[in-house]
Amino acid sequence: MDATSPILLFDSGVGGLTVLDELRKVLPDAPVIYAADVAGLPYGTKSEAEVAARVAGLLGRMAERYQPRLICIACNTASTIALGMVRDVLETPIVGTVPAIKPAAALTKTGVFGLLGTEATMRQRYVDDLEHAFAVGKRLLRHGANGLVPLAEAKLRGERVRIDDVADSAKGLMLQAHGSDIDTIVLACTHFPLLEQELREAFGQGVEFVHGAQGIARRIAHLTEGQPFARSTGDCAITTGALANFERLAPAFAERGIDRLERF
């Protein structure tokens, strides 16, 4: 194993940074390429066929060009739609990001918990299966909150995000029957933990938020255990979109040890 071989983190935008933050804690020396399919952002409003085609096509080309030791699909929408398909076609080990329904079901005291993700994620069979496996005897309420994705993107570009806008996109969760009993919310889109502070203000005290980033980072560390790591040059972020727009994220990337921004 080449010590400079990167771990490739893939998302439609900045959501995967929530996974990168946890990955840095467990594997500080791991070289990383952060790949954002900004030309395809947002995934949450797209059809299954569109998301699957983009993700499989891009990851195939990225695997060839960068020879990563592992790919993490740091996006719930892409993972719940295309994880199986991508694993079938690539030899590189793939770690997916799936809604943290299991830990949230164990945490809820009222027995009513919520799932906030993109609309595309909410309708996936993958989510139905997790609910049937881990939420038996509990009530899981779902809400597709596509509107939170551009707000998280804006925040990381240094723009001010209004709590009212966050609340407007997310409040449909609580407005359903039994919604007022929710005490735990799964953030099932990697963009959403970037707005955790705003979501806390929007939902008020008494609601716990759960997401999968820590578990994903631990899984990556486990799968690469014993491998040599050398971060000789600075890490790199690549975009399928315009570089000028991506460069507005330079401070957010720099904070996370990524100094080179390039177009894929």
Binding residues for substrate: 11-12, 43-44, 76-77, 190-191
Candidates 76, 93, 79; CA nearest to 7 is 93
Q: Rounded to an integer, what distance in angstroms lies between the CA atom of residue 76 and that of residue 98? A: 5
Q: How far is CA 32 from CA 3, 16, 117, 214, 260, in A?
A: 12, 12, 26, 17, 11
Q: Rounded to an integer, what distance in angstroms lies between the CA atom of residue 90 and that of residue 149? A: 28
Catalytic choice (32, 75, 120, 145)? 75
Contact yes or no for 108/78 (Cβ under 8 A): no
Q: Rounded to an integer, what distance in angstroms lies between the CA atom of residue 118 and that of residue 45? A: 8
Candidates 119, 133, 39; CA nearest to 81 is 119
75 classed as catalytic: yes
Binding-site ranges for ligand DGL (CB under 6 A)? 11-13, 15, 41-44, 75-77, 117-118, 121, 149, 189-191
Q: How many residues does the chain have?
A: 264
Tokens representing residue 214 in the block: 């820590």
Query: How many CB atoms are closer than 10 A to CB 195?
Result: 26
236 classed as catalytic: no
Q: Rounded to an integer, what distance in angstroms lies between the CA atom of residue 120 and that of residue 77? A: 6
Q: Rounded to an integer, what distance in angstroms lies between the CA atom of residue 264 and that of residue 35? A: 8
Candidates 86, 51, 48; CA nearest to 70 is 86
Q: How far is CA 45 from CA 51, 94, 146, in A?
A: 10, 24, 7
Catalytic residue numbers, as ranges: 75, 189
